[in-house]
A and B are shown apart, each in its own frame.
Chain A
Amino acid sequence: MAKLPVSAENIIEQFGPHKNYSPKDGYEGRDEPDDVVKTHCCFCGMQCGIQLLVKSNKVVGFEPWMEFPFNEGRLCPKGVQRYLQNNHPDRLMHPLKRVEGEGFKPTSWDEAMDKTVSEIKRIQEKYGKDAFSMLSGVSLTNEKSYLVGKFARVALKTKNLDYNGRLCMVSAGAGNKKAFGLDRASNNYSDLEYAEVIIVAGANISETFPTLTHWIWKARDRGAKLIVIDPRIIPLARTADVHLDVKPGTDSALYGAMLKYLVDHDMLDHDFIDNYTSGFQETIDAVKDYTLEWAEEITGIKKEKIKEAAELWGKAKTSFLLHARGIEHHSKGVDNVLGCINLVLATGRIGRPYCGYGTITGQGNGQGGREHGHKCDQLPGNRDIENPEHRQYIANVWGIDEKDMPGKGLSAYEIIEAIHRGEIKGLLSICFNPLVSLPNSNYVREALEKLEYYVCIDFFLNETARHADIVLAGSLQEEEEGTTTSAEGRVIRIRQAVTPPGDARTDTSIILELAKRLGVEDKFTYDNSEAIFNELRVASKGGTADYNGITYKKVEDNMGIFWPCPTEDHPGTPRLWEDKKFKTPDGKAHFNPAPYKLPGEVTDAEYPVVLTTGRVVSQYLSGTQTRRIGKLVDQYPEPLLEIHPNLARQYGIQQRELIRVSTRRGEGIFPANIVETIREDTVFIPYHWSGKKSANLLTPGTLDPISKIPEFKVCACQLEPLNEIAPPSKESDAYASV
């Protein structure tokens, strides 16, 4: 029974999203806090250092943390306001149960746990172990990510565990493993400082990783040339030396043409290619016909600009290439990533100072969370769940028989598809709001409604949790000790600033209690988070993501340690590949052919306009937290349809006119924002909202065949102006997600 027990409006009235604002004079006790806690922001992969001010077990404010080396006090608006997620009126204070016709009612932990365990057992006895699935997320610390992976395999004994990193950086991870045999940004960001050329591909740095902007400018102040590849003139592109306004879905054509240009003009590092790489010939064969003219035709970028970018990249002595979801959220996301890596390898500019490459991991613990086993095909240390040796090693760490360890399961969207087909009957979710963040949300909703039992662990009643049978009131990031790993690969300490309020519990204690009730208490007994981390260290030992030598003390003493760090006397590895010994089976970096392919859906007469999606600076992912913080909502209150004036003119669209946007999957109505900062053939909608304002009503569930990432960044739509001007944005209640 995973239908809403009462209307969405009714649920929203009780559980929000409501907007939280600080009192005019600030929270009481802010000026005389009991404690000033040095920790990190709960949002993106930058993991900026921040100090939380605590009074009477409540977070009452913040103070910049000037000493943390990545951000030195700098914060984005989300970071400044993040303290308001604590002390929030929507905060879940006790477990809830679904009561048909009445909504969600408080229940006891005993009843919630009993019900959950009995339903897990019932479903697994009736339909098999794998019919109960788990979805997790990488806002969780390394400790919790590791624990979830172990819990699903050892306590639930299901293969069907996956995580919302599937929507984040799996294309980059898969591409990096193919090319380097290891999945981490190759450099920390201090290598940007003296890079001569920086390519930023599909990464809206100023809105999604604002504090990284400073590092880009540090390089520009030293004379670096900046190349930004994006269909929109994003804030960073406005002042870039070259802006390549790529048509969504054609990225690999651009990288292919740039590679051919490097080859044709011999802007190659032959020594590096000959001695330290493989696959070069077949890779350049795949792009031999990719002339600048052809690339202009496919990508819509003027060939002179492609040439200028290729020349800058080819002639540079130092460089840094950064990419993010803009090139990764595609049915060929892995190909796009490989296309970028090919440009790096062709010039040999890696493994040296100011020669860098890396994806910019999106989520707070997007890096660490994707290494330690809550991914359907993975075991801790970034081991492979289908590799017999890896299985045996982890089985030993966990004290189980290798034969009892489930195999590779379905990825996140495939789990939803299996629920929709009736193959999976039960779901436990934590730190994931798939109804907002997965594509094709009408389909996701249908799937949720078919579940026989759904239990959700969260601190707010997110939109997906409205479909739950039981909601277990879990913890915020600042309510547990732990570690995360930032986008640079730096393992850092997350501090418990306060304990969970009311009858809410820490996520860890909830998972441990469930494990106990499922009969495996002996495998799930830990004194504290550090004990979990110490088991993780052992589990990661010898894997590519080796944390064995990292201790809490070492992390604290050094403000972070970069993995791999195999032994306690090892200082960590801020820059990879200085020894040019790659982690691939042959020890070489691999070129991989990345020929251009069409996106999963192309425009036609019926759906003639390209739709792409993305983010705004004041919101974070599915908005579970940020749509509850007043000033962040007010900064960008509702999703707008960005459209070029020439395209608007074709349809006779006025500024702020309501436009019905339709795709083959659904439709939504959005006010038009007519701006010259987008390609004429493309419209853009940010995706942080739910319900009728969800961009993911429109996006397709087409997956990359390797990474299984959905194609959020390109599909075909039609536009229908409704001849009605939208009310002012400030009156919008989109945040509440009806």
Chain B
Amino acid sequence: MNYTSFNTNEEFFVDMQRCIGCKACEMACAECETNGQDSMIHVNYIDRSSTIQTTVQVCMHCDDPVCANVCPADAISKDEFGIVHTANTERCIGCSNCVMACPFGVPKKIEEYDLMMKCTMCYDRTSVGKKPMCATVCPSGTLFYGTRAEIEEMRPNSTPVNTFVFGNEIVKTKVNIMMPKGSTELKIY
């Protein structure tokens, strides 16, 4: 694969407050030839009975990916650009360790293939200088792929955060969540 066009200064930003639950991202993700019409990004209602709010979950591409660390088959790898790749189909044994270990609930075991599948930040697109499909089509700007300077100029009221505190565990990620201005971390209780 030609890696030379990967824009290392571009990052992924998620701003949940904008999500309108339309699922354009899911549908676009599923179009990827490697995904077999399954989406690697997931949109869900928080609690439809009380609110219209939806959340969108994409692989956060952790600096120190737990999914890779717990994989007994060494099927998950992180590359030089910080992309945590989906399971190597020849190695994955479908054990679901990664599914249980991921703090964000990202990897899914696809029973039909006995294989874990997850987002690779559209490596086939990003490695040739394009933006990931989900962030390209997102009609609300919930998903944005571009430079930190661009997002800071566009959204002066928000700050990108990529430090997540799960109890005593701190997880740093390649993907950023947009938080109120001045935020430094997101604590999950």
Contacts and interface: CB of A to CB of B under 8 A. Distances in A.
B147 interface: no
Contacts of B21: 206, 235, 617
Contacts of A239: 17-18
Contacts of A22: 31, 37
Complex A-B, nearest 4 residue pairs according to Cβ-Cβ distance, in ascending order? A206-B20, A210-B139, A235-B20, A213-B140
B51 interface: yes
A79 interface: yes
A104 to B, nearest CB: 32
Nearest to B157: A221
B22 to A, nearest CB: 5
A238 B20 CA distance: 9
A213 B157 contact: no
Interface in B119-141: 131, 133, 136-141
Nearest to B53: A238
Given A66-B136, A677-B52, A236 B20 contact: yes
A675 B47 CA distance: 9
B137 A75 contact: yes
Interface string B103-125: 00000000000000000000000
Interface in B144-172: 154-157
Interface residues of A, number: 49
A181 B91 CA distance: 70
A69 interface: no
Interface residues of B, number: 34
Interface in A482-516: none
Given A76-B22, A218-B154, 17 more contacts: A23-B37, A26-B31, A71-B139, A73-B131, A74-B137, A76-B24, A77-B24, A77-B26, A214-B139, A214-B141, A217-B141, A234-B52, A235-B20, A617-B22, A617-B23, A635-B23, A675-B49
Residue of B27, B30, B36 with most chain A CB atoms under a 10 A cut-off: B27
Contacts of B9: none
Contact of A79 (B20, B24, B30, B141): B24
A676 B136 contact: no
Contact of A677 (B17, B51, B138): B51
A80 B137 contact: yes
Interface string A232-249: 011110110000000000
Among A30, A77, A80, find the residue whose CB has the most chain B CB atoms closer than 10 A: A80
B27 A77 contact: yes
Interface string A646-690: 000000000100000000000000000111110000000000000
Contacts of A206: 20-22, 140
A526 interface: no
7 contacts: A74-B137, A75-B24, A76-B22, A77-B22, A77-B24, A676-B51, A677-B51
Contacts of B131: 73
Nearest to B28: A80
A342 to B, nearest CB: 30
B150 to A, nearest CB: 12
A16 interface: no
B18 A207 contact: no
Interface in A39-74: 61-62, 64, 66, 71, 73-74
A648 to B, nearest CB: 10
A596 to B, nearest CB: 29
